A and B are shown apart, each in its own frame.
Chain A
Amino acid sequence: MGFMDKLKSKFTQNKETEEISEKYKEGMKKSRNTFSGKINDLIARYRKVDEDFFEELEEVLISADVGVMTVMDLIDELKMEVKRQNIKDTKEVKNVISEKLVEIYYGDENEEIEKLKVKEDELSVILVVGVNGVGKTTSIGKLAHQLKTQGKNVVLAAGDTFRAGAIEQLEVWGERAGVDVIKQSAGSDPAAVIFDGIKAAKSRGADVLICDTAGRLQNKVNLMNELAKVKRVIEREIPGAPHEVLLVLDATTGQNALSQAKTFSEATDVTGIVLTKLDGTAKGGIVLAIRNELNIPVKFVGLGEKVDDLQQFDAHAFVYGLFADMMEDSEEEQKDV
């Protein structure tokens, strides 16, 4: 059984996973069309696995924003694998490509890394960080809704006191999700707002506190220091907190996402990534590079603008989404034969 079939059978085993992969397929349809379309093109055009084939494959992967270094590594490994298995037909390479992509992502670990770490009986704190305009506040709204649906008592802290309208935006999401929002006036100290949030969450016996922060570019030293301070306040108030530090990344972002992940990690020890705007044509391939180079897993993906459009990330599903067309095509071919 080829790797693709294994992936596929994994997602047809039960209804629940089928639904997830359906969502992925739907949300990533536009991404998929171009990406797998290109790989199919490539495979149709090249019968032989040679240098030209690899060069073009390199371009296909780069066009998906998979980091340049990661692509180079991947191509090198593929070349070795092709030699080792003595693969001559480009069609067979397909399996090896997706196998390698999933392998890059998981390394020695498994699906556990994608689960959100929240405590069962005590307050868990989630700090949400990222550059401007990636969708932090929207993701918090969606996450609050998701946790609330799971029966958790959620409180939000409006730590973006800088951008005009940010507090109001979080309040609207709070209303939609039916959770409380702790706020101060615009321009106040974000660390103080978070401190208030912790106090309020404790006194209300909340299960999860999600802290919004202002968007900031990672090269602004002062703003990154401010963020580190916010984290210190949380650490001081609750030992072991924050339980998650989520970096929100825009899927359209290119190589700079690596720099974002690196610098935000230095300031706040990022534990996971929320990949937003994956419902466009951007492929978000940079998460593979981030996982490869910085070992940070993706926890959620944003696949639309509705309140329930936040999905738990699953690398198998991610790759399945990217390659689904290809799998269906190859099945048809098999039937023809």
Chain B
Amino acid sequence: MAFEGLAERLQSTIKKITGKGKVSEQDVKEMTREVRLALLEADVNFKVVKDLIKRIKERAVGQEVMESLTPGQQVIKVVKEELTALMGGEQSKIAVADRPPTVIMMVGLQGAGKTTTTGKLANHLRKKHNRSPLLVACDVYRPAAINQLETLGEQLNMPVFSMGTEANPVDIATKAIEKAKEEHNDYVIIDTAGRLHVDSELMEELQQIKANVKPEEIFLVVDAMTGQDAVNVAESFNEQLDLSGVVLTKLDGDTRGGAALSIKAVTDKPVKFAGMGEKLDELEPFHPERMASRILGMGDVLSLIEKAQANVDEKQAKELEEKMRTMSFTFDDFLEQMGQVKNMGPLDELINMIPGANKMKGLKNAQIDEKQLSHVEAIIQSMTKKERQEPNIINASRKKRIAKGSGTTVSQVNRLLKQFNDMKKMMKQMTNMQKGKKGKGMNFPFM
């Protein structure tokens, strides 16, 4: 497929260079061409790419790369630094008005995810900042848009202000502010109708809403899958409304999300949040550095490490290591490990964060089945204490009982027992292998 990460792209060029005493200008040219293609395939706007490549070339020719031992890696590092610098620092703060309510306007094209993001943002404000937002339904055009926001309001148990589809959006927004003052809502989030940036009539309407409610924040909601057109959209919305920030949605897809870079480059407005799923708590602060890695196809290693750190207890890991060495690893430990991995989130999500994982055929089509995991859990939980400690005693009649107790079949129990034995054998080999190297512990045997 066309979607290769930068690292893979550079492989062939790097191969040519290794073994050479010097890196020529031609080599740098070839490498930057690969960088250019990688960025274009990630949907970074071609103008933005052009500027970037120019800067990267300057730095590369400026000896940094030439003197390095691994020029390929050095190039990737330079590219990533440039991308991160362009993306800017992390900014997920939301403005607070001197006198409440603080007003936030959500704007964007059709289908970008404004209404869902409105719900998520309200949830975020309540959960993380202890605020009580009022949601305002100003999308009077799309069929059932008001209904959608009201349903979200119900799910969140939050008030939604609407005046039906006959009212003027400017009036709705204005009245909503009065309502928020009466009801002591400290935030007002206005959901507006999706519109094309070239639709002057509807853009005018947004300007009127802005003039009337004087929002502290205007967020442009952008689909992370947007292509080259992202610059036109962002530039146009920014010119007409002077945005305060961007929310990137659908980042839980497999898009590289180069649009993020393009938007930042043309508007110089920060991306503040990222939509990471369909549930109402799946809005996350935006991490520019991680985005840079993602655009380059380097995997979100940082996120993965962070998740692992948050969920794996150091002490437990130490104990486990000891157990593996002494071969006293039991089904109880197995269960505990599974719990820890599961705590880190859906498995397919984890796999996506591993660099290169989407290239490994087996992994990509592995279809991580969470159900299968629960089956394994059920089987182990149906074992007696003794069986978990000494799986060897499990005979045919015990297997039957376990299968019955866990609602599985004897063959499934057999399979698990075999896997467990194989794993133990593998561990033995691994610990033997590691005996030579001191201090290199195995922290995550299941990853």
Contacts and interface: CB of A to CB of B under 8 A. Distances in A.
Nearest to A219: B254
Given A131-B250, A169-B144, A280-B197, A219 B227 contact: no
B160 to A, nearest CB: 11
Given A220-B252, A221-B348, A254-B226, 10 more contacts: A68-B40, A134-B111, A165-B148, A166-B148, A168-B144, A169-B144, A173-B143, A254-B43, A254-B255, A282-B229
Interface string A209-250: 000000001111100000000000000000000000000001
Interface string B254-285: 11101100000000000000000010000000
Which secondary structure characterizes the binding site on chain B? loop
18 contacts: A63-B228, A67-B2, A68-B41, A132-B111, A132-B113, A133-B113, A165-B149, A219-B254, A219-B348, A221-B348, A221-B368, A252-B230, A255-B41, A259-B1, A277-B109, A277-B111, A281-B229, A282-B228
Contact of B232 (A131, A171, A281, A286): A281
In this complex, which of A65, A133, A252, A280 has the most chain B Cβ atoms within 10 angstroms of its Cβ?
A252
Interface string A275-303: 00101111100100000010000000000
A317 B315 CA distance: 67
A166 B147 CA distance: 9
Interface string B25-66: 000000000000100111101100010000000000000000
A255 B253 contact: no
B196 A280 contact: yes
Contacts of A286: 227
Contacts of B180: none
Given A69-B2, A254-B258, A255-B3, A217 B109 contact: no
Contacts of B250: 131-133, 217
B110 interface: yes
B7 interface: no
Nearest to B143: A172
Contacts of B228: 62-65, 254, 282
Contacts of A115: none
A254 B278 CA distance: 21
Q: 10 tightest CB-CB pairs across the interface, nearest first?
A: A254-B227, A165-B148, A133-B111, A172-B143, A164-B151, A254-B43, A168-B144, A169-B144, A282-B229, A217-B253
A254 to B, nearest CB: 2
A253 interface: yes
Interface string B220-256: 0001011111101100000000000000001011111
Chain A contact residues: over half helix, strand or loop, or mixed? Answer: loop
Interface of A: 30, 34, 59, 62-65, 67-69, 131-135, 162-166, 168-169, 171-173, 186, 217-221, 250, 252-259, 262, 277, 279-283, 286, 293, 305
A65 B348 contact: no
A252 B234 CA distance: 12
B142 interface: yes
B368 A256 contact: no
Contact of B259 (A34, A172, A254): A254
B373 interface: no
B162 interface: no
A258 B254 CA distance: 11
Contacts of A280: 109, 196-198, 229, 233
Contacts of A34: 232
Nearest to A59: B46
Nearest to A280: B196
Contacts of A253: 223, 225-227
Contacts of A258: 1-2
B112 interface: yes
Contacts of B46: 59, 62-63
| Interface core residue of B50, B151, B223, B368 (most chain A CB under 10 Å) | B223
A164 B147 CA distance: 8
A91 to B, nearest CB: 24
Contact of A68 (B37, B142, B144, B233): B37
Contacts of B256: 255-256
Nearest to B366: A221
B40 A168 contact: no
B130 interface: no
Contacts of A283: 229
Nearest to A69: B2
B62 to A, nearest CB: 24
B155 interface: yes
B395 interface: no
Among A34, A165, A279, the most chain B Cβ lie within 10 Å of the Cβ of A165
Interface string B118-160: 0000000000000000000000011111011111100100000
Contacts of A69: 2
Contacts of A250: 111, 223, 225
A261 to B, nearest CB: 11
Contacts of A68: 2, 37, 40-41
B169 to A, nearest CB: 16
B293 interface: no
A293 to B, nearest CB: 8
